[in-house]
A and B are shown apart, each in its own frame.
Chain A
Amino acid sequence: MPSPRYTREIPSRYRLEAGRCKGCDKVAYPARRVCPSCRGKEIQMVNLTPKGKVVTSTVIHVPPDDFLMEAPYAMAIVETPEGARLMTQVVDCEPSTVLPGMDVSLEFRLIRKEGKGGILCYGHKAVPVF
């Protein structure tokens, strides 16, 4: 993943920046130029609350090469209090316990490595809240 491409994603990945539509209140993550609900173009930047609920989940047993060392790992679609949904790994727990309805917090973590001589790539992962 070339670095200019990585740089562009930093606001959403590091700070959970999203866009709230002024017309219909829909929060899109990451922010979009056009609201996916009403096509409104007046978008206000907001930061997602770093917590949410698991909508659906899986445990990846056969991973992509870049994630070989981590398998098996849990992945989930998490919905934040703003109604935004994001795909994330769920860590610091037994993967099979990650099921729909679980409460999680979103924490800043290392996601992957760019490879030989490349940068470390960060973002958010979910951690169960008990």
Chain B
Amino acid sequence: MREVAIVGAGMTRFGELWNQSLRDMFVEAAAGALNDAGADRLDTIYVGCMSGGQFVGQEHLGPLMADHLGMNGVAAVHVESACASGGVALRQAFIDVASGMSDLVLAAGIEKMTDGADVTNVLATAADQELEVYHGVTFPGLYAMIARAHMQAYGTTEEDLAWVSVKNHRHGAMNEKAQFPGEVTLEQVMASSMVAEPLRLLHCSPVSDGAAAVLLCPLDQAGQYTDRPVKIVGSGLATSSLALAEREDPAFLDSVQLSAERAYKMAGVGPRDIQLAEVHDCFSIAEICCIEALGFVEKGKGGPAAKDGLTTIGGRIPVNTSGGLKSKGHPVGATGVAQTIEIFRQLRGEAGGRQVENARLGLAQNMGGSGASSVIHIFQGV
């Protein structure tokens, strides 16, 4: 396998982007990545998107996006793994370059959620239709059940959950791309309206539009595009049952642990070596479960991490310096690539007010459904 580097990145602001269509957002992000690297050609494009089909009635996204980028003829394909679609697009791009099949590959993530589709029902297609959705459960409902199981097993409190949101909004307040860059107080989170007990509105990531793209090439060609490439040193993808009821321990995300093991092994590092991470905080409880499954804290000890400052910028392992899905926004298919861009900026020392000092090794974890798929990448500054 060849060593692979990211040499350019581009993304839209996240939010309700009523003036931009799915293709407009893709082009802004993709052209931004090409421009960033000074590249004017591509071998392959991977478009991560959860559900263009249901959100805007558009499938066949590979050729559509290639065409609008002025890259007609280029190999281009849509990849899907629900909310992990962006991370999986990155993994496909990584494999493509590492294998020697392509030299210059764009990994993009896109989603248009505010064009009027029934978002609750579209997102629910990532759960088990026959066994879960049929009975009236929603995504917040599934994560609420994970939260209650975690509270039951480990004594995690509603305040612990709320602190994750407070911390991520504090980080997101320094991110000009964030959908909700305002800070929130513990009291505001605890008093926000109930969505699915014990999860309240401010434990949930928002509905968003957005696109993000990164450009990959072999490390030994990176010098043509940038002085500061970022290496992808590990990649892991793992699955679990779609239905939450099938999991032996509903308070633990086994796909996250398994994908982490694979990524750590490939990178030859362990959780203690990671200096910052973007994790998939679609709901506050998800960040708590993820940092446990990633090995940043012991199983059952994730609850107080945000409150204790462990995962804050300046803490032992800063998590979601971008603001996470909670504050930055969660255009589902774009999220995995946007997480990658945050680590890319951090490892190049370009993260401004939210810069983690001397960051050399970072991790991004992106998951689909209630944890049925998880994809992890580990990045190293060069």
A interface with B by C-beta (< 8 Å): 1, 9, 30, 36, 55-67, 70, 72-73, 75-77, 85-89, 96, 99-100, 111-112, 121, 123
CB–CB A87/B132 < 8 A: yes
A60 / chain B contacts, CB cutoff of 8 Å:
136-138, 140-141, 196
A66 to B120 Cα, complex, angstroms: 11
A73 & B246 in contact (Cβ 8 Å cutoff): no
B269 close to A (CB within 8 Å): no
- Cβ < 8 Å to A, chain B residues 171-221: 193-199
When the two chains form their complex, are residues B131 and A64 in contact, meaning their CB atoms are under 8 A apart?
Answer: no
In contact, B241 and A87 (Cβ under 8 angstroms): no
Identify A63's interface contact among B136, B149, B244, B246, CB under 8 A: B136
The 5 closest A-B CB pairs, nearest first, are A58-B144, A56-B149, A85-B245, A59-B197, A67-B136
Pull 14 A–B residue pairs with CB atoms less than 8 Å apart, ordered by A: A58-B199, A61-B193, A61-B197, A64-B120, A64-B124, A75-B135, A75-B141, A75-B145, A87-B131, A88-B135, A99-B148, A111-B134, A111-B136, A123-B134
Question: B244: which of A1, A77, A111 is its contact (CB, 8 Å)?
Answer: A77
> Interface size bucket, B side?
35 or more
Contact B197 A89 (CB under 8 A): no
B99 / chain A contacts, CB cutoff of 8 Å: none
Given contacts A60-B196, A64-B120, A87-B243, whether A121 and B136 have CB atoms under 8 Å apart is no
**Min CB gap B176→A, angstroms:** 30
Contact across chains for B121 and A65 when beta carbons are under 8 A apart: yes
Contact partner, A112, options B132, B134, B145, Cβ 8 Å: B134
Asked if residues B146 and A56 are in contact (CB atoms below 8 Å), the reply is: yes
1/0 per residue, CB under 8 A from A, across B235-251: the answer is: 00000010111100011
Residues of the B chain whose Cβ atoms lie less than 8 Å from the Cβ of A56: 145-146, 148-149, 152, 250-251
Among A59, A70, A89, A99, the residue within 8 A (CB) of B196 is A59
Nearest chain-A residue to B127 (Cβ)?
A87
**What is the interface of chain A mostly: helix, strand, loop, or mixed?**
strand
Q: Separation in Å of the A79 CB from the closest CB of chain B?
A: 9
Partner of A87, one of B120, B195, B199, B244: B244
> In the complex, A111→B152 CA distance in Å?
28
Best-surrounded residue of B132, B196, B243 (most CB of chain A within 10 A): B196
Residues of B111-169 at the interface with A, using a CB-CB cut-off of 8 Å, are: 118, 120-121, 124, 130-138, 140-141, 144-146, 148-149, 152
Name the contact of A111 in the complex, choosing from B135, B144, B194 (C-beta under 8 A): B135
* Cβ contact within 8 Å between B138 and A64: yes
* Complex interface: chain A residues within 8 A of B246 (CB): 36, 85
Q: In the complex, how many angstroms separate the beta carbon of A1 from the nearest chain B beta carbon? A: 8
Which among A1, A61, A67, A87 has the highest number of chain B CB atoms within 10 Å? A87
Q: What's the least CB distance linking B7 to chain A, in Å?
A: 42
Chain A residues whose C-beta falls within 8 Å of the C-beta of B196 in the assembled complex: 58-62
Q: Is B135 a contact of A87 with CB atoms below 8 Å?
A: yes
Q: Which residue of the partner chain A has the closest CB to B152?
A: A100
When distances are taken between beta carbons in the complex, the residues of chain A under 8 Å from B146 are 56
By beta carbon, the residue of chain B nearest A58 is B144
Q: How far apart are A65's CB and chain B's nearest CB, in angstroms?
A: 7
* B149 partner residues in chain A, CB cutoff 8 A: 55-56, 100
Q: Which residues of B contact A96 (CB under 8 A)?
A: 197
**Contact A58 to B141, CB < 8 A, known contacts A64-B124, A65-B118, A87-B244:** yes
Chain B residues in 8 Å Cβ range of A89: 135-136
By a CB distance below 8 angstroms, the chain B residues around A112 are 134, 136
Interface residues of B in 26-57 (CB under 8 A from A): none
Instruction: List the A residue with the shortest CB-CB distance to B194.
Output: A61
Residues of A within 8 A of B197 (CB): 58-59, 61, 96
Q: A57-B148, A62-B195, A65-B121 are in contact. Are A9 and B130 (CB under 8 A)?
A: yes
Would A77 and B145 count as touching, CB distance under 8 A? yes
Give the complex CA separation of A89 and B148 in angstroms.
Answer: 16
- What separation, in Å, do the CA atoms of A58 and B134 have in the docked complex? 16
Query: Which B residues are in CB contact (< 8 Å) with A36?
Result: 241, 246
Beyond the given A56-B148, A59-B197, A87-B243, could you list 20 further A-B residue pairs with CB under 8 A, ordered by the A residue number?
A30-B130, A55-B250, A56-B146, A56-B152, A58-B141, A60-B138, A60-B141, A61-B195, A62-B195, A65-B120, A65-B121, A70-B136, A76-B145, A85-B246, A87-B132, A87-B244, A99-B148, A111-B135, A123-B134, A123-B135
